[in-house]
Amino acid sequence: MTRLGWDQTGERFFEAGADRAVLFLSGISGVPWNGLVGFSHNQSGGESSPRYLDGVKISNRTTPEEFEGSLEAYTYPAEFESCDGTARADNGLRITKQRRKPFNMVYRTKVGDDIYGIDAGYKIHFLYNLTAEPSDRPYKTLSDQTDPLTFNWKITSRGVAVPGFRPTAHFYVDTRDIPSGLLQDIEDTIYGTDMIDSSLPTPGELFFLFDSYSDTVYDAGSPLTPVFVTYDAGTPTTAIDQTIDGGAA
């Protein structure tokens, strides 16, 4: 047995920063969001809802939670105008106070530790079915020092049902425990490549990608050998009569 220890080398983790934001609207490829300041996650729901019988607490369930937050940025993509309640007329005329369109979004937060600093890893956040509510925008006269205005929005969401879990609009992956091949596939999809445009998997597709990504071992020789390989089994009617040696049990 081993005695517990605290603050061991390589176990002092912290989180900081937000970058690589991508806006996704229905029918168009992902759009990079430059000028992101931050995305704050707010607690909504999850309150205790106890039940009593004869003066004794018999349950302590919590109410459903919803994803809410606040988004702050120095600027936003032109495609976000429709989400902010601004419509475009001819020749650059904008009309405000219109119906705000829902949107999806991806952004990244950094994970640091006492060895690699801020480069220990990162988390990719997937946000679905978001609605933005603009806050006040206090435009002021210019002075000898320019203070850029920041735009702020209250963000609400509509959760998506995922089999076996409560509905939610927020998913994230942590690069410290995701297979490298799967991470590459995910980033190629959401950021795009020289061959494909940026796109956002639906929550169902995202869940399937992770649920179906298996560690298939082909004659690995050791149970500790990590091999991430998918083999083509042919058509659904192809008979399989071969046993693959998985190495040590």
Render pLDDT for 212-242 as a digit per residue (tens, 0 to 9).
Answer: 886 444 444 555 445 445 455 566 555 555 5
Q: Which fold has domain 14-48+60-200?
A: Pnp Oxidase; Chain A (2.30.110)
Residue 227: predicted pLDDT:
47
pLDDT band, residue 190 (cuts 50/70/90): very high
Q: Return the number of other C-beta atoms located less than 10 Å from residue 160's C-beta.
A: 18
Q: Is the pTM of this model over 0.85?
A: no
d(CA 152, CA 147): 15
Which token pair is 139?
């435009």
pLDDT-wise least confident of 10-24, 41-55, 67-81, 165-179: 41-55
Which amino acid, 14?
F
d(CA 29, CA 20): 15
Residue 234: predicted pLDDT:
60
d(CA 116, CA 122): 12
- In order, the DSSP letters of 112-157 are EETTTEEEEEEEEEEEEEEEEEE---------SS-----EEEEEEE
d(CA 106, CA 102): 14
Residue 44: predicted pLDDT:
78
Render pLDDT for 85-104 as a digit per residue (tens, 0 to 9).
Answer: 999 998 889 999 999 999 99
Mean residue pLDDT of the chain comes to: 85
- The full set of domain ranges for the chain reads 14-48+60-200, 214-249
225 contacts: CB under 8 Å, gap ≥ 6: 217, 247
